[in-house]
Amino acid sequence: MIIDFPNIPEQRLPNFKGGEKEYIARMFFDGQNRIMYGRLEPGASIGLHTHETSSEIMYFLEGRGKVLLADGEERVAAGQCHYCPKGHTHSLVNDSDADLVFFAVVPEQ
């Protein structure tokens, strides 16, 4: 199956999960798995949230930022991958002066 992200309408999600500004995303959802091409503009974030029934894999395509975790933070940049296992908590923050673009997969478990 091909997921043609350029032909999926862009959604602007203000204060996503309690974050700042907007999460801009093109999302595919088959009822079980969510696959997203996302973007955070400078100063935007996805709020701190726990993956109770899923995990999340984020691969960063452009930019840099940070992931907040229950026990600290980790810097992320293009070419890196962040994994949040089921039951864990995280947040994504674009604290740079350029867009943070990423591909994310959230499989229900």
User: Is the model's pTM score more than 0.75?
Assistant: yes
Is residue 51 assigned to a domain? yes
Is residue 106 assigned to a domain? no
The number of domains in the chain is: 1
Rounded CA separation 72/25 (Å): 26
Is residue 44 assigned to a domain? yes
Tokens coding 20: 């700042």
Residue-wise pLDDT for 45-100, tens only, equals 999 999 999 999 999 999 999 999 989 999 999 999 999 999 999 999 999 999 99
Full residue range of the structural domain in which residue 35 is found? 16-73+85-95
Is residue 26 assigned to a domain? yes
The pLDDT of residue 96 is 98
